[in-house]
Chain A
């Protein structure tokens, strides 16, 4: 596999397309891990997979201080799981925060004995009463149809098989792209591109690139990965809401406005300041993402690991989050990668400069 990765695949869109289209529902991240691993291996000095399946790559630093920054981007995506076989159809439950409203008539891939194409089936409006038609579909109204007879289906599919969204990633106008699982493959691309920039640079700190699992079902991978890595500083990479009809104007950021730097109690003020100063010095456009409480990202788990980790968050705005129609401005991915790489080069040897209540 590794040798087949050609130079052109390192361009942001190709990388995003490849990672977006690779399945990796929370709890079954083996295929996406293998793909990410191929791209990560040449960029780090050591690579390992831990108990829960987090992929951690270590890139050594150039100073003797042996300070360690952990970057966390989750590779898992929301999806579905088979709960029951019923008369040739599949019953399913969500894995993570699936938006039921975007499921009916959506094509999926059922990861049975082999990958089977399927779709989310529901009864046609023609046969429903007006009252029934006015209600959104509930989970109990929906089945998955893979076009197999009941006996063949039972040979191919079992309770507990995972199901991912079947959707290619493609370009839209104006440098935007659309696809599924942009939450959070977009950030995996940010992580890889940042490491690529660092290849030619001198950075004092050790960089541990943690591509985490099971974020969508409760930040579970980040919790164990952070314990294991025990970093001096943590930076989480995730996506956030871009402006669109229906999004709360307080929480959404303009598409294409650059990386969003988290602001709030989940963030260490000195580390956040370092990100902001770096963005301004490098003239990278950025926004502030105001997070009054739980950021809902790996940063929330990292901050309270063991005796506490100074934590920051960089997010890329996307539209239609947790649907098969997520969209992103590609330039925000590149800007986020630059911001991340430049910040890593700026991490101070003296940790006390990151202390709270510093005498000054």
Chain B
């Protein structure tokens, strides 16, 4: 659908190796922002708007640049590679997958014994899996491993390896091109998948008044026996988090977003509470606290080589955030708490 989204989704970058994504974003946005820095851990932080006067309302939007993947632990003389996951990978989806290794993007396959030799029903842990490179050289311990998967259209949907969270990076990039009545800080963060590491550092430096994490999140809308939550559903608009493992959202911000969506006829959904975590987890605890919330595009099969999402949800998320930033999100929060 879009050249930037495609470029971001194709880029390779697990935690600690976000340079390629950072370079794309820097090039795309340098002309649109007033200041741009890279900090010591690798966060790319951009600012625009707001006056230098006291009391300017500073909104930080965060999207993480890293994707789940692996790291080479050691190479064997027979051309195989031992690896470990970087971020949460389900070992059951790994056997038989195609990967790319290191800065040279050396291809390899995750080995799977022929079916006659498989030992029953046991899940093989990642530490027992090997990658076969056919003996290609140029692989060093510490090299990153990413899934190999095309960015392409699947019917009305889009497919790629890393919508978590390149779709968030894309949305944030589009928002940084706009003009809003607040000081807008875009934080493209690192190391989210290994513990929300970059976002806390960024929030400490930025000292925002409020923050929104932009994410690609779990959709579990496959058919199910029981009438239970789909977590989120594709095609039903941006998902808003009330609570997950990492944070309780600021209820005032939840209300701003849901009311903005409703007022502009943008469909929206609550994400199933209690599932997953986002950069909000460290952002909201920075310094004296930051009111924060996560808004996400529903994605099926995140943390696999092939995630699917609905481009309509991406556009609606951009629309919701633009409307909110032009409206109540762009203004200081009411001082008083009140019950929704």
Contacts and interface: CB of A to CB of B under 8 A. Distances in A.
Chains A and B touch each other in the complex, with CB atoms below 8 Å apart: yes
B86 interface: yes
Interface string B177-211: 00000000000001100110100110011000000
Contacts of A267: 16
Given A250-B84, A308-B39, A290 B23 contact: no
B59 to A, nearest CB: 19
A288 B17 CA distance: 17
Interface string B206-236: 0000000000000000000000000000000
B331 interface: no
Contact of A264 (B85, B142, B190, B201): B142
A292 interface: yes
Contacts, number: 81
A310 to B, nearest CB: 5
Contact of A307 (B39, B82, B86, B191): B39
B73 A355 contact: no
A19 interface: no
Contact of B38 (A264, A307, A310, A355): A355
B70 interface: yes
Contact of B142 (A288, A293, A309): A288
Given A306-B204, A357-B23, A264 B40 contact: no
Contacts of A307: 39-40, 201, 204-205
A250 B190 CA distance: 25
Contacts of A308: 39-41, 43, 201, 205
B19 A250 contact: no
Nearest to B42: A356
Interface residues of A, number: 25
Nearest to A267: B16
B246 to A, nearest CB: 15
Report whether over half of chain A's contact residues are helix, strand or loop; otherwise say mixed: loop
Given A265-B194, A308-B201, A292 B19 contact: no
A244 interface: no
Contacts of B204: 306-307
A304 B71 contact: no
A303 B190 CA distance: 12
Given A264-B142, A308-B201, A294 B38 contact: no
Contact of A290 (B15, B26, B142, B201): B142
B127 interface: yes
B141 interface: yes
Contacts of A292: 70-71, 73, 84-86, 194
Contacts of A251: 73
Given A292-B71, A304-B197, A357-B19, A248 B127 contact: yes
8 contacts: A265-B17, A290-B72, A294-B194, A294-B195, A303-B197, A307-B204, A310-B40, A357-B19
Given A265-B86, A304-B41, 6 more contacts: A251-B73, A294-B194, A303-B41, A306-B205, A307-B201, A309-B40
Interface of A: 248, 250-251, 263-268, 288, 290, 292-294, 303-304, 306-310, 354-357
9 nearest A-B residue pairs (beta carbon) = A265-B16, A307-B205, A263-B142, A308-B201, A292-B71, A250-B73, A308-B41, A308-B40, A265-B15
